[in-house]
Amino acid sequence: MDAACVRSWLGVVATRLEAERDFLTQLDAAIGDADHGINMHRGFTAVMARVGDIEEATPGQLLKAAGRTFVSTVGGAAGPLYGTAFLQAGEALGDAASFGPRLLLDALRASLEGVQRIGAASPGDKTMVDALSPALGAFELELRMGGSLETATSGAREAAAEGMRATIPLQARKGRASYLGPRSVGHQDPGATSTALMFAALEQAVLADRSHRFAAGARRRGSGA
């Protein structure tokens, strides 16, 4: 993955957030403050404007800029939590001009650690960690079994979605939803839902990147023949 692929991932996230904005807000209205969709959409609109202004940047610089923009434009819990996730991922990538699945795994792990440091949430607390943690686990497992970037991101997307759905019967132990006690049961967590969306976007960006490279390779081969 290179900077162009990271840009395309952020772009897919922004597009999907726009489409899912009302759904996320609706989920949040049941157990939160009814602003998750609005906040995420506003944050990513600002992120896209910011990364659009940066012409030359490494993937790490792009993610750090995204994180800082997110923290400064989004209120509530989503700003600090997602902002930290992007910042930590950017830090983990360092100055690399491009990165493979191993470095991406490190970045995902750094994101999870950052989110848990701020939110103190464990799996099962009905938070974004319930999507992020299994996605990370599936990504790592797929790599250990000899999988590629494509199969690992696909496994992560699937695990994040499963983790997201598994928040429905849980009683929230962190965040505003925990104030509701047993009344939080039966509702899907909005944070886990937006996290699952990011993994779906990651898979989409990785697959698009591969088909671009394939097409470019075919053109080179074609012109060389």
Partner 1 sequence: MIQSVGRAARILKALGSESARLGVTELAERLGLAKATVYGLLRTLEAHQLVEQDLETGKYRLGPALLQLGNSFLDNNELRARSLLWAETLAGRAREAVHVGVLYGPTVLLVHHVFRPDNSLQILQVGASIPWHACALGKAMVAYLAADAGAELLGGPLPRLTGRTQTSRDALEAELAAVVATGVAVEDQEAIVGEAGIAAALFDNRGAVVGAIGVAGPVERLLPGGPAAEIVAAVKEAARGLSRELGAGRPALPRAGA
Select the residue interacting with partner 1 from 57, 118, 141, 207 (CB under 8 A): 118
Q: Does residue 22 touch partner 1 according to CB under 8 A?
A: no
Q: Does residue 137 touch partner 1 according to CB under 8 A?
A: no
User: Using CB under 8 A as the criterion, what x/- string covers residues 60-99 for binding partner 1?
Assistant: ---------------xxxxxxx------------------
Select 49 or 120, whichever has its Cβ closest to partner 1: 120
Burial readout 159-185 (b: 16 or more C-beta within 10 A, e: otherwise)? bbbebbbbbeebbbbbbebeeeeeebe
Decide if 59 contacts 2 (C-beta within 8 A).
yes
Select the residue interacting with partner 1 from 43, 59, 163, 175 (CB under 8 A): 175
Q: Distance between CA atoms of 185 and 218, rounded to whole angstroms? A: 52
Residues near 117 by Cβ (< 8 Å), separated by ≥ 6?
A: 84
The strand ranges marked E within 66-209 are none
Could you give the angle at the alpha carbon of 148 between the alpha carbons of 147 and 152, nearest 5°? 75
Q: How far is the CB of 172 from partner 1 (least distance, A)?
A: 11
Q: Does residue 180 touch partner 1 according to CB under 8 A?
A: yes
Catalog residues that contact partner 1 under the rule CB under 8 A: 29, 31-35, 75-81, 116-120, 171, 174-176, 178-183, 185-187
